[in-house]
Amino acid sequence: MYSKQVMDHFTNPRNMGEIPDADGVGEVGNPVCGDIMRITLRIEGDRIVDAKFKTFGCAAAIASSSMVTELIKGKTLDEAWSVTNRAVAEALEGLPPQKLHCSVLAEEGIHKAIDDYRTRHGMPPMGDGSQHAP
């Protein structure tokens, strides 16, 4: 059902935890399945130097959280914003159709965290505010 990559990121998640005094925090959830994802970022200049996650959810949600933090570390805010749910799913070597929403949550969590950082620093958010609330 799940790829080796999904199982690896589920059983050996990268970047699990929370950054104290994070520069940006994004929390999203899916009311249908109950997954909740919290992503915290450390940003220096315009670059994400650290990213961590806490996720309550299924194997696909945990793997998506782990993978997205790996994909954005070291990237500029614009580069991280461009990481799509499709990129997360592809990096995980695919997700079952009924679990694709987990990669969407990962993308939305990054968007929320980046917008939180921008708002804290007097910049307009990059998003349109349509992300899911937890």
From the candidates 36, 77, 89, 102, give the one annotated as an active-site residue.
Answer: 102
Nearest residue to 48 via CA among 17, 21, 71, 14: 71
User: Under DSSP, is residue 102 helix (H, G, I), strand (E, B) or coil?
Assistant: helix
| Unique residue bearing structure tokens 């993978």 | 67
From the candidates 7, 16, 33, 59, give the one annotated as an active-site residue.
Answer: 33
Q: Is 58 an annotated catalytic residue?
A: no
From CA 3, how far away is CA 65, in angstroms rounded? 16
Report in angstroms the alpha-carbon separations of 27 from 41, 83, 113. 12, 17, 8
Catalytic sites, residue numbers: 33, 102
